[in-house]
Amino acid sequence: MRWDDRVVAFLTIAPLKPGHTLVVPTEEVEDWTDLDPDLLAHLTNVSQIIGRAIDVAFNPTKVGLMIAGLEVPHVHLHVVPIDTVNDLDFANADPNPSPESLDAGAERIRAALTDTGHQPAI
């Protein structure tokens, strides 16, 4: 989903857990250390809003936030419902989630965003 003119958010095609969402700037930047500080703050803010929605939708022990950066040459923040630190291990990613499970997870997050008073701007 397009959050606004600076950020998009979507479920990853190789989720660590159901609800694993990527928050990505529309500006092409390879390394998070090269982000403009205002854009980094905005990405973090959007990630926090989505993290709260994931918490409502999936009721995990915690919602993890990670910037790994090895998967593709474009900054993206991973927002992941977690119950243990092992839930952040990419070796545990589901390489072939069903489209139905991805759609169901996205719908749960959208509903939680609505319930918490947040809507993407676009």
How many distinct structural domains can be found in the chain? 1
On whether residue 120 sits in a domain, the answer given is no
pLDDT per residue over 63-90, tens digit each? Answer: 999 998 787 889 999 999 999 999 999 9
Domain with residue 51: its CATH number is 3.30.428.10
The confidence score (pLDDT) of residue 1 equals 76
The confidence score (pLDDT) of residue 121 equals 54
For the chain, give the percent of residues with pLDDT over 90: 85
Domain hosting 37: range is 7-115
* Mean pLDDT of the region 15-20: 97
* Mean pLDDT of the region 13-41: 96
On whether residue 122 sits in a domain, the answer given is no
Cβ 19 vs Cβ 53: under 8 Å: no
